[in-house]
Structure 1
Amino acid sequence: MKAVVLRRYGSAEVLQYEDVTQPQIKPDQVLVKVHASSVNPIDWKTRKGMLSLLTGNKFPLILGFDVAGEVVAVGSQVSRFQPGDAVYGSTSFPGGAYAEFAAVPENLIAPKPANLSYEEAATVPLAALTSLQALRDLGNIKSGQTVLVNGAAGGVGMFAVQIAKALGTEVTGVCSSKNLEFVKSLGADRVIDYTQQDFTEDNVQYDIIFDAVAKRSLSSCKRVLKPQGIYISTLPTPEVLLQSVLTAFLPGQKAKFVLQKPNTQDLLYMKELIEAGKVRTVIDRSFPLAELAAAHTYSESERAVGKIAIAIH
């Protein structure tokens, strides 16, 4: 099969499009004929060696977490899927989706939303589940609350705005001037153009500040966070780690960071929201698998609005 292989850490040029052996499935896995994947920042951070503490120096690696495709074989312990099923979900760490076939654990996939193409479905899992788990599990989001999403036009932010609206909150989205209309179209009640205004200087306070681009910290957001408010980041920086430990045991404002945990149940929840028309995905650009290096470079520019899809079959 064709796949994009990583044999050493480095710039996008280290990604090689080549022939490799098709993966063998374990008893609890399904073999998916991959129709599409997508690019998430964790993919190029892994490629650069920024997560080498977790990935080690075991090469070759096939990256890519998001997967959408068709089940072609199932392991002996698999009960929920059969060949021919259209599925979407995640591969296990450190990836495997940038290939024509992927071995995927049964508990990390779900039936694909019926109203999405494979490319659209492949842009959902990691970004949407990051947003869902940040807001619901860490933020204890409740109807009637006020939520601010920093980086509202990006892959994670786009889903966060829509999920927060679907859960009955008042949402403020922070983005650049050119994306104001886009973020409004996602359902944001207010939008703040960060090139014109610093949201931390605002006179509004929020129950949850979800920093989807990990550019701030609890200390910079204190003034605009309610006394019992929660600041959530997508990156466990030293400052966020320290603040999360310190605030865990003290009353008042909390700092937390989200580490997305893929699972079938949350994918089914997102499928419901998507099929009900409450959440949509937006693809900025789609690249063929052979041009993955260009897709990574584009993602690293941080100019993408919504998600970057990878078309495979």
Structure 2
Amino acid sequence: MKAIVCKSYGPTSQLQLKEVEKPTPKSKEVLIKVHFSAVNDYDWSMVRGEPKLYRLLFGLFKPKHPIPGMELSGVVESCGEDVTKFNVGDAVYGDISAHGFGSFAEYIAIHENAIVRKPEYLPFEEAAALSHAANLAWQGLVDFGKIKNEMNVLINGAGGGVGSIGLQIAKAHNCQVTGVDTGDKLEAMKEAGFDHVIDYKKEDFTRSNDKYDLILDAKTTRAPKAYQKVLKPNGRYVTVGGKIGRLLQIAFTQNVMKKPVYVVPLDANKDLEQIHDLYQSGKIKSFIDGPYPLEKTGEAIQHFGEGQHHGKVIVSCSPR
């Protein structure tokens, strides 16, 4: 089978499309023919080995998992002898990061608990774009943010996958939503339905006189006190990603802040039933950048890392 291989840390241009051995599923694993995968922060950091602190997870000197990718949609081709949740031919998708990596490939063998069934009404492309971003947005806004109707919500890093889904979840609660990003994304964000957009290169929202009931941050770059200033008295700040130093700072100080601040510890695939309901009712959809062909995965990851994407960057992994 063909797969994207990362043998050492370095620029995305060093990624290679290679012929590798097709995996055989273990007793509790399913073999999936991957239709689409999606680019995430994990891939951008793992390929480059940056920030270096992450090498404690990825491998000190080279990647432990030479095939990147942590999100997929596809079809079950075979099952291990102890698999009970799926059958050959089932359409599936999910964020597989709790059980392994390697979705930038034509096939992957992964534990059956890493995936869920894909509803018929959800296209494969959109499914690959939903599992990680939608769970982060849902858990950030609903589980930790306690979103309520008609709140004033701000989403930082709003032009990516989490931001586009977060907008739609907030709009399902009749909220006013401000999005922070820059460049060509701003017009796309207006078209997507943001009530207000802020170009972070021109304006620092943490120095604004505007106040918010809830902030969802996908690109945390400030100290916790900066966000406190723009929260309403009962406001909440929730981060789902950003600079590792700032995330650690928020995690260690969240119990002493006057207004609640949280770092979301993602529970992969937990809330997909709620996402299915919203999708089927027409309240959310995926915003897709791509799909890129498998051989251009390095370009897709670079595009993501440079912050040029709107929505979720998708890679087509095998012809159907």
* Residue 12 of structure 1: how far off its partner (Å): 0.9
Q: Which amino acid is the alignment partner of residue 17 of structure 2?
A: Y
Residue matched to 1:110: 116
Q: Which amino acid is the alignment partner of residue 188 of structure 2?
A: F
Residue matched to 1:271: 276
Aligned with residue 58 of structure 2, among 49, 55, 61: 55
Distance 1:130 1:201, change over 3 A: same
* Residue 18 of structure 1: how far off its partner (Å): 0.8
Q: Could you say what secondary structure the match of 1:286 adopts?
A: strand
Matches of 1:312 and 1:251, distance apart in 2:
45
Aligned residues of 2:189 and 2:197 also touching (Cα < 8 A) = yes
Distance 1:177 1:309, change over 3 A: closer
Distance 1:164 1:98, change over 3 A: same
Matches of 1:307 and 1:288, distance apart in 2:
15
* Residue 305 of structure 1: how far off its partner (Å): 1.0
* Number of equivalent positions: 311
Q: Which amino acid is the alignment partner of residue 47 of structure 1?
A: V
Distance 1:42 1:259, change over 3 A: farther
Residue matched to 2:299: 294
Structure 1 unaligned blocks of 5 or more: none
Q: RMSD between aligned alpha carbons? A: 2.2
Q: Which amino acid is the alignment partner of residue 54 of structure 1?
A: L
User: What are the residue-to-residue correspondences of 1:1-313 with 2, within 5 Å?
Assistant: 1-50=1-50, 51-56=54-59, 57=62, 59=64, 61-92=66-97, 94-176=100-182, 178-233=184-239, 234-235=241-242, 237-248=244-255, 250=256, 252-263=258-269, 265-313=270-318
Aligned residues of 1:5 and 1:60 also touching (Cα < 8 A) = no
Percent identity, please.
38
Distance 1:60 1:284, change over 3 A: closer
Matches of 1:70 and 1:240, distance apart in 2:
36
Matches of 1:166 and 1:131, distance apart in 2:
13
Matches of 2:242 and 2:198, distance apart in 1:
22
* Residue 195 of structure 1: how far off its partner (Å): 4.2
* Residue 2 of structure 1: how far off its partner (Å): 0.8
* Residue 100 of structure 1: how far off its partner (Å): 0.7
Aligned residues of 2:220 and 2:246 also touching (Cα < 8 A) = no
Matches of 1:15 and 1:275, distance apart in 2:
37
Q: Which amino acid is the alignment partner of residue 239 of structure 1?
A: R
Structure 2 unaligned blocks of 5 or more: none
Matches of 2:47 and 2:258, distance apart in 1:
39
Matches of 1:34 and 1:291, distance apart in 2:
16
